Amino acid sequence: MRPYFQATVESPFIDLHDGFDGFVQQCARSGSDLVKSIAQKTRKMSREIAPMRFEAQRQDRSALDRLFAWKAAQRERTGTFDVLSTPWMRNVAARLLDTTTETFAGLLSVMYAGDQVAAVHLGMRSDTVWHHWFAAYNHDLQRYSPGLINLLEMVRAAPGLGVQTMTLGRGSGRSGAGRRISRTVARGGTSRCSPRCAASRGRCRSTLA
C-alpha cells in the first residue's frame, strides 16, 4: 500500500482500441450475450414506442435538468443520498457541460425514443478516455432497459470521438451489466483524510452512480 492510500479497488473498463467491432468480438469470446440482448431491447422499444435516436454530445440544459430529476427520483426509491441535489454539485455539472477543450470535456449523452428522452448520461473525457459518471433513465420505459441502450450507444460512438477506453468507475456493476461487457483490471485508491472528511465520506458513501 502506497503512502496516503487507504485502500485499492478494482475498476471495470471497456477496451476500445480495436473499435466497436472489436468490443463486440471481445464480448462474444467471453460468452456474453449482452450486446445481442440490448439490440433486441432497442428493436422492441423502436417498434412499441418510437425509433431510437442517440446523441453522444448534447449542449442541452433541459436534458441535464431531466437527469437531475430522474436521479433524485431514483435516490428517493433506493433511500440513498442524492449528491446531485446539492447546489455545489449542480454547479459542477453545469460547468462541466459548458467545458470543451482538446484534452478535457464534459459529455452529456442523450438517447431518445422518437422525441421522448429515454436516458441521459453525464460524463467527462480526456483525449482518449471517457469516464462513465451519472446516468439515469425514464422509469416508465424500464422494461426496455434504456440505460443499457444508452451505454451501448456510448460505446458505439466512442471510437469516432477518439476514445480508446471507457472507464466505468468503482463498483460499476451498478446494474450488474457493466461487468458483463467490461474488463476489470484498472485500479485506483483513496487518500487518507481527516475525521471531518471521513464523516462526510460516510454520509455520502453511496452517492455516485
pLDDT (0 to 100) of residue 11: 76
Could you tell me if 10 and 186 are in contact, meaning their C-beta atoms sit under 8 angstroms apart? yes
Query: 131 CB contacts (<8 Å, ≥6 apart)?
Result: 123, 124, 125, 166, 167, 169
pLDDT (0 to 100) of residue 200: 40
pLDDT (0 to 100) of residue 1: 53
65 to 33, 61, 88, 114: CA distances (angstroms)? 33, 6, 15, 19
What letter would DSSP give residue 151? H
pLDDT (0 to 100) of residue 42: 97
pLDDT (0 to 100) of residue 12: 86
Output the tens digit of pLDDT for each of the chain's 209 residues: 566 666 667 778 899 999 999 999 988 888 888 899 999 999 999 999 999 999 999 999 999 999 999 999 999 999 999 999 999 999 999 999 999 998 999 999 999 999 999 999 999 999 999 999 999 999 999 999 999 999 999 999 999 999 999 998 765 444 444 544 555 443 444 444 444 444 444 433 333 33
pLDDT (0 to 100) of residue 203: 37
Q: Please state the φ and ψ torsions of residue 132, each to the nearest 5 degrees.
A: -75, 130
- Domain 19-164 carries which CATH code? 3.40.630.30
Query: For the chain, what percentages of helix, strand and coil (3-state, to nearest 5) are there?
Result: 45, 25, 30
pLDDT (0 to 100) of residue 174: 45
Could you tell me if 188 and 5 are in contact, meaning their C-beta atoms sit under 8 angstroms apart? no
pTM: 0.81
Polymer length in residues for the chain? 209
- Angle at which helix 146-157 crosses helix 19-30, to 10 degrees, equals 130
